[in-house]
Amino acid sequence: MSKITSINTFIVDIPTIRPHKLSMTSMSVQSMVIVRISDDNGLEGIGEGTTIGGLAYGPESPESIKTNIDKYIAPLILSKPIDSINAFMQLLNQSVRGNYIAKSAIETALLDLRGKQLGVPVSELLGGACHQKLDCLWVLASGDTEKDIAEAQKMIAQRRHCHFKMKIGARAVADDVAHVKAVKQALGSDISIRVDVNQAWNEINAVKGMQALQDAGIDLVEQPTPAKDYAALVRLSEKFNIPILADESIADSQDAYLLAKQGFSGSVALKIAKAGGLKGALDVAAVCAASGIDVYGGTLLEGSIGTAAALHAWSTVPNMQFGTEMFGPLLLQDDFTKTPLKYRDFGVEIPTLPGLGLEIDEDKFTQYVRK
Ligand code: MUC
Ligand code: MG
């Protein structure tokens, strides 16, 4: 059995194609933690741990992800034989609390390495793909109504995306609703529009906002209220026909169980970063399936590596009712892999080569790696 000989981490900064404005931050660059794990046969597994806006989105930053892998996580698995990724993850979960994004990066790199050792794609290590291609929406977040309309029209004409999610919550409810309504009217009734409030509303504003968005024909409202306020999410899901998607509220399968137990009738965004890896996210999907809760393949705006990892996981979920938003690489000005993901016909293909199915372009990697 081959052994792990090195675990190296890097922060890679790549500018975005335009400012990406969320309720809690505006992004102009994405900082990805890339993990490279080698074995004694010269094979390498790659993983990615990425968040949004430093510490604006959640409790892990690119710098903490890198430091905690280097100091606490890597020594637990270095020099060990890579016979069971489940056993490695159990050890990590016993020894390191939280740090879900760091764990997701490590699990991804281990799965990529194991897939390359066995000559099979990561989806096969997870039991096999049910889908070869998944729907993929695009997020409109320029902050400007006319720019958002032009951007969406271009994506539709290119047959790249026909579902859109709009980031709102930074402005007054009435201003946000007017912005969303203008985009919906310009694009027409056939084009699906959703919104993501990223926890910015209290329940009173959520009632006002959701009523107006429902009346305007918006298809879904994501995380209107604060993550921990499960009772508000349950009340809102009972009050409105417009579906609610829980995002920041649900990290792992225990969260999904607790929300389902309270009677939540909405849907849940799966993210490998929130759940501590691919298997953790699939556990969330299993709890949702058992509870009658629909799922959606979510992103923390990862580049190609994290996005490919999530796609392998989502490909094994029989029913991804709300599609996916695995567009992260397209928001970045450049890609340091030689094997870009294939976006076509309003969706994205699941890679089929061994491991994640990606290869790093070393020159570009060196160009963007933080010195
Ligand atoms: C989120 O909260 O959904 C996903 C897409 C995007 O633009 O931001 C992320 C995070
Ligand atoms: Mg969200």
Residues 178 and 296 in one domain: yes
Residues 183 and 288 in one domain: yes
Q: Report, as an integer, the average pLDDT of 228-242.
A: 97
> Ligand 2 centre from 207 Cα, in Å?
19
Tell me, yes or no, whether 210 lies in a domain: yes
Residues 156 and 281 in one domain: yes
Tell me, yes or no, whether 356 lies in a domain: no
Q: How far is Cα 274 from Cα 286, in angstroms, rounded to an integer?
A: 16
Tell me, yes or no, whether 354 lies in a domain: no
Residues 175 and 323 in one domain: yes
Residues 129 and 92 in one domain: no
Tell me, yes or no, whether 357 lies in a domain: no
Residues 99 and 133 in one domain: no
Residues 106 and 131 in one domain: no
Give me the residues paired with residue 46 across strands.
Answer: 36
Q: Is residue 60 within 6 Å of ligand 1 at its C-beta?
A: no
Q: Is residue 148 within 6 Å of ligand 1 at its C-beta?
A: no
Query: How confident is the model at residue 83, as a pLDDT?
Result: 85
Task: Pick the ligand that lies closest to the CA of residue 273.
Answer: 1
Tell me, yes or no, whether 208 lies in a domain: yes
For residue 194, pLDDT over 90 is answered with yes
> Ligand 1 centre from 125 Cα, in Å?
27
Q: What is the DSSP string of 72-123?
A: IIHHHHTTSB-S-HHHHHHHHHHH--S-HHHHHHHHHHHHHHHHHHHT-BHH
What Å distances lie between residue 122 and 100, 112, 289, 345, CA to CA? Answer: 20, 6, 22, 24
Mean pLDDT of the chain: 98
Residues 112 and 238 in one domain: no
E-state strands within 116-179: 133-135, 138-140, 163-167
Query: How confident is the model at residue 84, as a pLDDT?
Result: 94
Query: pLDDT digit string (tens) for 110-134?
Result: 999 999 999 999 999 999 999 999 9
Query: pLDDT digit string (tens) for 55-88?
Result: 999 999 999 999 999 999 999 999 999 989 999 9
> Ligand 1 centre from 87 Cα, in Å?
31
- CATH code for the domain of 326: 3.20.20.120
Residues 165 and 294 in one domain: yes
Residues 114 and 133 in one domain: no
Query: How confident is the model at residue 1, as a pLDDT?
Result: 80
What Å distances lie between residue 165 and 141, 220, 323, CA to CA? Answer: 8, 9, 12
Query: How confident is the model at residue 360, as a pLDDT?
Result: 98
Task: Pick the ligand that lies closest to the CA of residue 324.
Answer: 1
Residues 245 and 341 in one domain: yes
> Ligand 2 centre from 87 Cα, in Å?
31
Tell me, yes or no, whether 312 lies in a domain: yes
- Tell me how long the chain is: 371
- CATH code for the domain of 60: 3.30.390.10
| Token reading at 169 | 């919550």
Q: Is residue 196 within 6 Å of ligand 1 at its C-beta?
A: yes
Q: Which ligand 1 atom lies nearest to the CA of residue 198?
A: 2
Tell me, yes or no, whether 16 lies in a domain: yes
Our answer to whether residue 338 is catalytic in this structure is: no
Q: Which of 103, 165, 167, 274 is catalytic?
A: 167
Domain of 140 in residue numbering reads as 125-349
Helix (H) or strand (E) holding 273: helix 272-275
Q: Report, as an integer, the average pLDDT of 78-101.
A: 95
Q: Amino acid letter at 352? A: T
Q: Is residue 139 within 6 Å of ligand 1 at its C-beta?
A: yes
Tell me, yes or no, whether 240 lies in a domain: yes
Query: pLDDT digit string (tens) for 166-190?
Result: 999 999 999 999 999 999 999 999 9
Residues 194 and 69 in one domain: no
Q: In the chain, how many domains are there? A: 2
